[in-house]
């Protein structure tokens, strides 16, 4: 890890770099999106925790609360170096916004390309009392507009987190060893998948709760399995909608990560992923929803070219409803991207 001078309004930005190994990638040599998400979160946790402890006060650890939508602009391959740069761009009284850029580097040719851009929100929790949120030291802004823009982003994510939590009563029943021979290919039930993981010490922060990056990596693994079962080709993560961390997951808990297909376009698949926690060390508490997100995948040929995606077959009214909701998100994202391209062309 190295540091460089801040290019924006916040403290000195940091950079985390690592060469991509064979066990970071799928059979086609494309690095799993979850590996990159984990690196992004590690960089964000370092810079936000460092900032929150930069002034005299109660020692704390920054906990991930939310990751805004992030697009995987280009796949990273085995042997390339992923350079993750993070800087703080806004602080409220109790939260920190971190902007992260990921650039892949071919160390043989020197060629570089931007692969990801992400925005993460952290909340500092006291080391003495994990339920206490401590105050965040303010940062200096180069321009007043930067603070106003940051405040607008803060209010928007706060509202979206509330809306997401309100609709989070949905349940995916764990499907560990389903009899897929009884299910029609390309249906929701055929590709639906679950993974069960015991939270160990290596998964956790100093506070004894799961690192956000560990959770995102597991979510990406499950979403990737769902996508691969649906189209039976090489698949890669194209984007992740906002990931909301509703509640902390304690060491010793058993988490169930479940994914199901919600929508398909001609060239993409949307997969809904939930993380539910069973706090075995705290028997008084029942199972609860900890994290939720939508992952989008694309299917690739051996040459890395996009392939058509089989249409999702919906069978129940709930599946049809979720398909229409996914279609709405897809069209909204597509319209937003086209507007950005048109704006860029005019500049």
Residue 339's contacts (CB-CB under 8 Å, 6 or more residues apart) are: none
Whole-number Å distance between alpha carbons of 14 and 320: 45
Q: Which two tokens stand for residue 4?
A: 């460089």
- Is 26 in the active site? yes
pTM for this model (two decimals): 0.89
- Is 276 in the active site? no
Q: For residues 65 and 165, is the Cβ–Cβ distance under 8 A?
A: no
Whole-number Å distance between alpha carbons of 215 and 227: 19
Least confident of 166-175, 177-186, 220-229, 262-271: 166-175
* Interval 205-253: pLDDT, tens: 989 999 999 999 999 999 999 999 999 999 999 999 999 999 999 999 9
* Interval 287-312: pLDDT, tens: 899 999 999 999 999 888 999 999 99
* Interval 19-50: pLDDT, tens: 999 999 998 899 999 999 999 999 999 999 99
**Which pLDDT does position 229 carry in this prediction?**
95
* Interval 113-151: pLDDT, tens: 999 999 999 999 999 998 899 999 999 998 999 999 999
CB under 8 Å, gap of 24 or more: what pairs does 279-285 form? 279/250, 279/252, 279/253, 280/252, 280/253, 280/254, 281/250, 281/251, 281/252, 281/253, 282/250
Q: What domains does the chain contain, in order, with CATH numbers?
A: 13-143 (3.10.129.10), 188-341 (3.10.129.10)
Instruction: Out of 24, 203, 220, 278, pick the active-site residue.
Output: 220
Q: Is the pLDDT of residue 87 over 50?
A: yes
């Amino acid at each position: 890890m190295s540091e460089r001078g801040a290019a924006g309004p916040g403290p000195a930005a940091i950079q985390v770099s690592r060469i991509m190994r064979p066990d970071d990638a799928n059979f086609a040599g494309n690095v799993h999106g979850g590996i990159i998400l984990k690196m992004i979160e590690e960089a964000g946790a370092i810079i936000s925790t460092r900032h929150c402890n930069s002034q005299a006060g109660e020692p704390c650890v920054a906990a991930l609360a939310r990751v805004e939508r992030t697009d995987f602009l280009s796949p990273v391959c085995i042997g390339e170096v992923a350079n993750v740069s993070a800087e703080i761009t806004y602080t409220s009284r109790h939260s920190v916004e971190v902007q992260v850029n990921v650039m892949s580097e071919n160390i043989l040719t020197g060629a570089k390309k931007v692969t990801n851009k992400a925005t993460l929100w952290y909340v500092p929790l006291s080391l003495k009392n994990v339920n206490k949120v401590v105050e965040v030291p303010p940062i200096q802004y180069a321009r007043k507009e930067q603070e106003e823009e940051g405040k607008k982003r803060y209010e928007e994510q706060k509202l979206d987190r509330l809306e997401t939590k309100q609709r989070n009563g949905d349940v995916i029943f764990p499907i560990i060893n389903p009899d897929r021979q009884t299910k029609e290919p390309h249906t929701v039930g055929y590709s639906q998948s679950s993974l069960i993981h015991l939270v160990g010490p290596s998964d956790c922060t100093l506070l004894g709760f799961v690192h956000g990056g560990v959770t995102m990596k597991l979510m990406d693994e499950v979403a990737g399995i769902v996508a691969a079962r649906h189209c039976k080709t090489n698949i890669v993560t194209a984007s992740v909608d906002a990931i909301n961390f509703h509640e902390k997951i304690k060491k010793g808990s058993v988490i169930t990560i479940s994914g199901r297909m919600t929508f398909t376009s001609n060239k993409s698949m949307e997969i809904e992923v939930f993380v539910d926690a069973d706090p075995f060390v705290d028997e008084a508490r029942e199972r609860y929803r900890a994290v939720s997100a939508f992952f989008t995948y694309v299917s690739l040929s051996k040459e890395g070219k996009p392939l058509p995606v089989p249409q999702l077959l919906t069978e129940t009214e709930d599946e049809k409803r979720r398909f229409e909701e996914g279609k709405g998100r897809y069209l909204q994202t597509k319209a937003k991207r086209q507007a950005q391209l048109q704006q860029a062309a005019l500049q």
